[in-house]
């Protein structure tokens, strides 16, 4: 009997250990505050790993491929500004290395060629430098946004999920030539059917962006191993819906051709901000409540938030009065630090509305005539076509 119990315990421990080293392994500070997220495939570091400050902002992000560092390495100050940024290829630093002062101004610039330092320049701190909103890349907003982008939708207890997280899919994306040429970016929403062993049997596009991106997303997903979905503690055949991102690097954006100037027409894109998502605003509403003299305001108005909402057809609300009421914390630079749903419809729509707010650029609140941190309550109307 004792031997049997020992054997069962050993097997359970082995299974637990194997599961822990496939996927994202998280550690926490006290009170459940995220400390780190480490990505493994077959017990080897693979994918993007993150470390966080106790205030929720990013401390460091690194990329691994089959146990070796490969990709961008970024370290951040506690305020969310980048501290250092450089590229690693096969464990060796290559290309431009940048370091910044706490204020965000450039401190040092180095150029490496396969690990060898080619040139180096140092810069004096600029006391008058004011960082733009986009420079606060390590704020808690980025964590919240990534978590919402990487959310998996399913109708079972635990959704099927790619081993190594969505990074495992993103690394396999072959950016279509025409999409790159026209500078097309966006999210492809798709559903994958995954069997009990974690194999992808088929995929279906829920909402695409065209120019070959939909097919590229499906191709990448089919190449990835999944942790199977779990229902009542048993692996099951299931469907899971999630987003695959298409984002161009700065250089690729600059190289993209303006299609209108080239052909006089827009490329055929199946999704746009012109309400192809089935959601639209009636008229900009003024229910922005806050604790400041002048509330934070989304650049482009409320419509700029609504245009970013992407949800599958089956999850759309039927009530024309449907809305989501969200509380958001916005800092003096217009960064959305975090969000909380006060009144919602369902998890999918609530998540989509939160993500839209997190993706939106805001004009900061004003207190006594100066930009200031503020809490704001936003009512986002959802109207079906």
User: CA of 174: how far to CAs of 45, 49, 270, in Å?
Assistant: 22, 22, 19
Give per-residue pLDDT as tens, 42-84: 788 888 889 999 888 889 999 888 888 888 899 999 988 999 9
Lowest pLDDT segment from 20-29, 107-116, 153-162, 372-381: 20-29
**What is the per-residue pLDDT for 256?**
53
The pTM of the full predicted model, rounded to 2 decimals, is: 0.49
Give per-residue pLDDT as tens, 86-111: 999 888 998 889 999 998 899 999 99
Task: Output helix, strand, coil percentages for the chain, rounded to the nearest 5.
Answer: 20, 40, 40
Tokens of 291: 């604790």
**Structural domains for the chain:** 2-137 (3.90.930), 158-263 (3.30.2420.10), 273-384 (no CATH)
Question: What is the C-alpha to C-alpha distance for residues 338 and 329, in angstroms, rounded to an integer?
Answer: 6
Give per-residue pLDDT as tens, 149-179: 667 888 888 889 888 778 788 889 889 888 8
Q: What is the phi-psi region of residue 301: left when phi exceeds 0, alpha when psi lies from -120 to 50, beta otherwise?
A: left
More confident residue, 269 or 220: 220
DSSP codes of every residue in 236-288: E-EEEEEEEEE---HHHHHH---HHHHHSS----S--TTTTTSEE-SS----E
Question: Which DSSP helix (H) or strand (E) runs through 324?
Answer: strand 323-330
**What is the per-residue pLDDT for 267?**
46
Angle at 242 between CA 237 and CA 244, to 5 degrees: 125
Q: Is the pLDDT of residue 7 over 90?
A: no
Taking all residues of the chain, what is their mean pLDDT, rounded to a whole number? 79
- Sorted by sequence, the CB contacts under 8 Å of residue 358 that are 6+ apart come out as 141, 144, 145, 148, 336, 339
Average pLDDT for 108-129? 90
**What is the per-residue pLDDT for 120?**
92
Give per-residue pLDDT as tens, 308-357: 887 666 666 777 788 889 988 888 878 787 788 888 887 778 878 888 88
């Amino acid at each position: 009997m004792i031997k049997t119990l020992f054997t069962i315990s050993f097997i359970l421990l082995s299974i637990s250990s194997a599961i822990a080293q496939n996927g994202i392994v998280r550690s926490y500070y006290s009170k459940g505050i995220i400390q780190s997220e480490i990505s493994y495939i077959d017990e080897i570091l693979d994918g993007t790993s993150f470390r966080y400050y106790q205030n929720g902002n990013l401390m460091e992000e690194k990329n691994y491929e089959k146990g070796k560092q490969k990709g961008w390495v970024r370290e951040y100050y506690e305020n969310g500004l980048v501290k250092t940024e450089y590229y690693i290829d096969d464990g060796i630093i290559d290309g431009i290395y940048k370091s910044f002062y706490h204020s965000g101004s450039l401190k040092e610039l180095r150029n490496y060629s396969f690990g060898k330092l080619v040139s180096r320049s140092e810069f004096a701190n600029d006391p008058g430098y004011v960082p733009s909103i986009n420079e606060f890349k390590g704020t808690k907003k980025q964590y919240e946004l990534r978590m919402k982008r990487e959310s998996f939708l399913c109708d079972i207890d635990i959704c099927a999920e790619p081993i190594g997280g969505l990074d495992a899919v993103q690394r396999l994306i072959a950016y279509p030539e025409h999409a790159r040429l026209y500078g097309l970016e966006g999210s492809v929403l798709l559903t994958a059917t995954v069997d009990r062993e974690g194999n992808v049997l088929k995929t279906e596009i829920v909402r695409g962006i065209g120019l070959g991106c939909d097919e590229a997303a499906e191709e990448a997903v089919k190449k990835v191993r999944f942790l199977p979905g779990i229902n009542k503690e048993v692996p099951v055949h299931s469907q899971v819906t999630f987003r695959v991102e298409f984002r161009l690097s700065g250089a690729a954006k600059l190289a993209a051709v303006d299609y209108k100037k080239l052909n006089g027409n827009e490329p055929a894109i199946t999704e746009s901000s012109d309400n192809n998502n089935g959601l639209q605003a009636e008229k900009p509403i003024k229910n922005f409540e806050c604790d400041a003299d002048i509330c934070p305001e989304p650049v482009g108005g409320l419509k700029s938030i609504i245009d970013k909402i992407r949800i599958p057809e089956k999850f759309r609300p039927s009530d024309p009065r449907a809305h989501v009421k969200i509380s958001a914390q916005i800092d003096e630079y217009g960064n959305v630090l975090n969000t909380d749903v006060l009144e919602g419809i369902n998890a999918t729509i609530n998540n989509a509305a939160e993500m839209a707010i997190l993706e939106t650029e805001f004009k900061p609140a004003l207190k006594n005539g100066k930009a200031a941190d503020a809490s704001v309550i936003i009512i986002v109307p959802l109207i079906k076509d």
